[in-house]
Amino acid sequence: MVFNASRLLGKTVLVTGSSAGIGRATAILFAKAGSNVILLARRAEALEEVKQACIDVHQASKLSHGGQFAAIPFDVSDRVAINGIFDKIPANLRDIDILVNNAGYVVGREHVGDLDESVVEGMFATNVLGLISLTNLFVKGNPDFKSRGKGHIINLGSVAGREPYAGGSIYTATKHAVNAFTASMMRELINTPIRVTEVQPGMVETEFSLVRFKGDAAAAKAVYAGIEPLTGEDIAEEIVWAASRPPHVNIAETLIFPVNQASATVFYRAPS
Ligand SMILES: NC(=O)c1ccc[n+]([C@@H]2O[C@H](COP(=O)([O-])OP(=O)(O)OC[C@H]3O[C@@H](n4cnc5c(N)ncnc54)[C@H](OP(=O)(O)O)[C@@H]3O)[C@@H](O)[C@H]2O)c1
């Protein structure tokens, strides 16, 4: 288990997009650290599988803290539903300490002129507007971080939130928006104990590229040719590490690359 994770014992964490990839690995690592976890994503069956994995690692850990899990099928792009989210969370898990805004995706590599409006709207609704609505609710909803004088918001940004690239205009726009929102929020919450973190991964091999290439497994695999990419577990360790710092320490940003990546577009690929 990672460095002083005892600070996470009995904490309650909500992870959006926890049916796969980074969110799945993050939920399981929090479960292993003795936290309670609320899992949110659209695919109910996949969420149940992750919930069982959380139960299994928690039991194996033999920790007496944590071990409470809930799988809630939920679409974070449905902002009306977000307002009723606390009603869906079991009463024993409503005292949430950490919100991990991880749900997000990209579809396609189309350039401007060929953009599909519904795809653009879907990405903004999930990656940006859902994240903002959920965060707004947690900071000043009921129950909320502000009146309870605690809370940690961890947003999944990306190297794409620091650096635009051709074929990623909408995705990079959404992640730049996450970056601006997160950094502004940190300033707005300066007089509170609420912590704000942005985790910015480079290339992580998850279902991300499969979604980007609309299920084309060969195209998705080619993204990682000649490179050892990061895994969901690598990013989960960063998230859990940030959450397990002492209460006076705020990890504002972390940028994480595979060792052969240096920017959104600069890689070294080993010859095959
Ligand atoms: N992989 C990378 O290279 C990379 C790099 C930088 C940043 N990121 C960011 O990391 C985050 C996680 O990505 P990943 O790599 O783990 O991708 P992934 O394996 O495709 O997982 C994405 C997760 O988001 C969920 N999701 C998507 N739309 C949703 C919605 N409307 N409502 C609720 N859940 C939704 C998906 O579940 P359902 O389909 O079941 O809803 C899934 O659990 C994203 O924000 C992504 O932008 C990824």
> Could you check whether the bond before residue 271 is cis, i.e. omega within 30 degrees of 0?
no
Tokens at 74, concatenated = 């939920």
Residue 105 falls in the annotated catalytic set: no
Query: Hey, what's the torsion of the CAs at 198, 200, 201, 206, to 10 degrees?
Result: 50
Is the pLDDT confidence value at 134 over 80?
yes
pLDDT of residue 143: 64
Taking Cα atoms as reference points, which of 62, 37, 74, 35 lies closest to residue 52? Answer: 37
Look at residue 272 and tell me if it is in a domain: no
Residues, the chain: 272
Among the ranges given (14-23, 115-124, 146-155, 182-191), the one the predictor scored with the smallest mean pLDDT: 146-155
Measured from the CA of 229, which atom of ligand 1 is nearest? 3
**Partners of 197 in beta bridges:** 154
How many CB atoms neighbour CB 272 within 10 A? 5
Distance 62 CA to ligand 1 centre (A): 30
Distance 25 CA to ligand 1 centre (A): 12
Look at residue 264 and tell me if it is in a domain: no
Query: Hey, what's the torsion of the CAs at 47, 50, 56, 58, to 10 degrees?
Result: -100
Which residues form the pocket of ligand 1, taking CB atoms under 6 Å from any ligand atom? 16-23, 41-43, 46, 74-77, 102-105, 126, 156, 158, 201, 203-204, 206-208, 211, 232
Look at residue 262 and tell me if it is in a domain: no
Distance 147 CA to ligand 1 centre (A): 30
Number of domains in the chain: 1
Q: What is the extent of the structural domain holding 246?
A: 5-256
Q: Which of 11, 62, 175, 214 is catalytic?
A: 175
The Cα 106–Cα 115 span in angstroms is 12
The Cα 14–Cα 75 span in angstroms is 14
Look at residue 138 and tell me if it is in a domain: yes
> Residue 182: pLDDT band by 50, 70, 90 thresholds?
very high
Residues 6+ apart with CB under 8 A from 26: 15, 18, 100, 102, 232, 235, 236, 239, 240
> Residue 147: pLDDT band by 50, 70, 90 thresholds?
confident
pLDDT of residue 214: 97
Do 254 and 157 form a contact (C-beta atoms < 8 A)?
A: no
Question: In 3-state terms, what secondary structure has residue 167?
Answer: coil
Measured from the CA of 105, which atom of ligand 1 is nearest? 47
Do 22 and 235 form a contact (C-beta atoms < 8 A)?
A: yes
Look at residue 238 and tell me if it is in a domain: yes
Ligand 1 pocket test, pick from 133, 156, 231, 255 with the greatest ligand atom count within 8 Å of Cβ, gives 156
Mean pLDDT of the chain: 96
Q: Which of 171, 214, 221, 268 is catalytic?
A: 171
For residues 156-167, average pLDDT:
98
pLDDT of residue 105: 98
pLDDT of residue 122: 98
DSSP annotation of 6: G
Q: What is the DSSP string of 75-142?
A: -TT-HHHHHTHHHHS-GGG-S--EEEE--------PPTTS--HHHHHHHIIIIIIIHHHHHHHHHHSS
Measured from the CA of 75, which atom of ligand 1 is nearest? 32
Question: For residue 106, what is the domain's CATH number?
Answer: 3.40.50.720
For residues 246-258, average pLDDT:
97
User: In the chain, what percentage of residues exceed pLDDT 90?
Assistant: 93
141 or 23, higher pLDDT: 23
For residues 33-38, average pLDDT:
98
- Between CA 18 and CA 28, with CA 24 as vertex, the angle to 5 degrees is 120
Look at residue 218 and tell me if it is in a domain: yes
Look at residue 99 and tell me if it is in a domain: yes
Tokens at 267, concatenated = 């890689």
pLDDT tens across 75-103, in order? 999 989 999 999 999 999 999 999 999 99
The Cα 68–Cα 224 span in angstroms is 36
Among the ranges given (63-72, 140-149, 256-265), the one the predictor scored with the smallest mean pLDDT: 140-149
Is the pLDDT confidence value at 130 over 70?
yes
User: In the chain, what percentage of residues exceed pLDDT 70?
Assistant: 97
Is the pLDDT confidence value at 53 over 60?
yes
Look at residue 228 and tell me if it is in a domain: yes
